[in-house]
Amino acid sequence: MTLLTAHKILIATAVVFFFGFGLWELRNYFTAENPWAIFRAGLYMLVAAGFGFYLRTLKKWVR
């Protein structure tokens, strides 16, 4: 396994983690009506999208 493959696996895991955590916070917002939960859900979804974008454009960064 190359270092690039390991990096892709870790980044993909981070995308899944942050997306799942965002969904969990969204559920927390609807059940507990915590106003900060919607902020955290949006933040985690934004981080997941950023990592996803990074994963898709990773070939541009590697020479």
- Is the per-residue pLDDT at 62 higher than 80? no
Of 11, 3, 5, 24, nearest to 51 by C-alpha is 11
Q: What's residue 45's pLDDT?
A: 97
Residue range 2-55, pLDDT digits in tens: 888 899 999 999 999 999 999 999 999 999 988 899 999 999 999 999 999 999
